[in-house]
Amino acid sequence: MHFGPSLPRVQSRVSLMLCFGVILCGGLVAPVSRADIVCIQDLTEGTPTVKVFAGGTCDAGVTDITASRVTIKNSGAEFLEFSLALGANHGIADNKSYTQMWEDMVGGTLSDVLLFTAASALPPATVDFCSDPAFCNTGGYTLLSGGVLEPIENGKFQFEGSIGETGLGTNAYDLYVQSDLDVPEPSSVFLLLTVAGLVWMRRPK
């Protein structure tokens, strides 16, 4: 799991920076066709994981380049902070942005928050993923909204945005998050079944 008002869509990518989907740097709302794939996975109550692939998809990556692109800075239950390598001549301007994922509906129950921090003169970039939104302080960050960057979790890898002008490899990163679906506790399921059974037994004959 920091962006502000949506900006108008632009079809060509301007050379400057972070394109978390709804255009902060020119960029595309859709994933970049030839980007390195950053895959953040959070399917348990433990520590999230991250992999980076050169080509392919998160489910079928071509070449695992995680070791050369990612350095874990901090991690714990439902939290992961890592640096993402940038080239010395990258084109990303100073940037503090975030996006978020919802459990049920946009504006409903917040599930995950993803922060991105970069400085033009200080590679690498930093990514914070928080499965518990309380772990990510969005103060001073800008929310890129408009629905595209605020998906509703579905248990699959979902696009969270593109980082352009990275100065490495394909010159772009596409970020994806796979978040576990919340399921009712067994006691809650039993209660619902009990209530449903009572309603069925009391139905008019």
- pLDDT tens, 164-202? 889 999 899 999 999 987 655 444 434 444 444 444 445
15 or 30, higher pLDDT = 30
Predicted confidence band of residue 142 (pLDDT cuts 50, 70, 90): confident
Q: 114: domain range?
A: 18-201
pLDDT at 160 over 80: yes
In a domain, 141, yes or no: yes
pLDDT of residue 145: 53
Residue of 69, 116, 71, 72 lying closest to 93 (CA atoms): 116
| Angstrom distances, CA of residue 116 to CA of 12, 14, 34, 60, 185 | 22, 19, 21, 25, 33
In a domain, 6, yes or no: no
In a domain, 5, yes or no: no
pLDDT at 148 over 90: no
Q: What residues pair up with 175 in beta bridges, in sequence order?
A: 38, 161
In a domain, 147, yes or no: yes
Mean pLDDT of 33-61: 91
Task: Tell me the Ramachandran region of residue 42: left when phi exceeds 0, alpha when psi lies from -120 to 50, beta otherwise.
Answer: beta
Domain tally for the chain?
1
In a domain, 47, yes or no: yes
- Separation CA 113–CA 141 (nearest Å): 12
Distance of CA 33 to the CA centre of its chain: 18
- pLDDT tens, 51-99? 999 989 999 988 999 999 999 999 999 999 999 999 988 888 888 889 9
Mean pLDDT of 93-111: 89
pLDDT at 23 over 60: no
pLDDT of residue 174: 92
In a domain, 49, yes or no: yes
Task: Tell me the Ramachandran region of residue 147: left when phi exceeds 0, alpha when psi lies from -120 to 50, beta otherwise.
Answer: left
In a domain, 11, yes or no: no
